[in-house]
Amino acid sequence: MSIEDPPVYRYGDFPELFWDVKPDAVIDRTNLRMIARVLTNGSMEAIRKLVPMDVLLRDFEKIDMPDNARRFWALVVEMRRERVAGRPGEGGHAA
């Protein structure tokens, strides 16, 4: 594994999120259902490890999740997209 390769995680590494999946299976970090589950139920540590920011920014509108989670993550995604585009977030807050 090179420095740029993300670590390989298995569903069994996160039993609190994936109790219903084969524990030895490798997590596909681009799977939108997996991302939705992590964003909705995961700890910040799990989110950092399992949700690639480029996938979240690119595919956010395709991710099916409850409305309350969608509203929260839509704000996060909007602020991150503004930061990537070189525009500071509204309200004078540094993103």
Show contacts of 80-84: CB within 8 Å, 24+ apart: 80/53, 80/56, 81/57, 84/57
Q: What is the mean pLDDT of the chain?
A: 90
Residue 3: its pLDDT value, please? 58
Residue 65: its pLDDT value, please? 96
Distance separating alpha carbons of residues 49 and 8, to the nearest angstrom: 10
* Domains of the chain by residue range: 11-92
User: Dihedrals φ, ψ of 50, to 5°?
Assistant: -110, -15
Higher pLDDT, 6 or 48: 48
Per the CB < 8 A criterion, the answer to whether 53 and 75 are in contact is: no
For 26-54, write each residue's pLDDT tens digit.
999 999 999 999 999 999 999 999 999 99
Confidence band (pLDDT; 50, 70, 90) for 95?
A: very low
- Residue 58, pLDDT > 80, answer yes
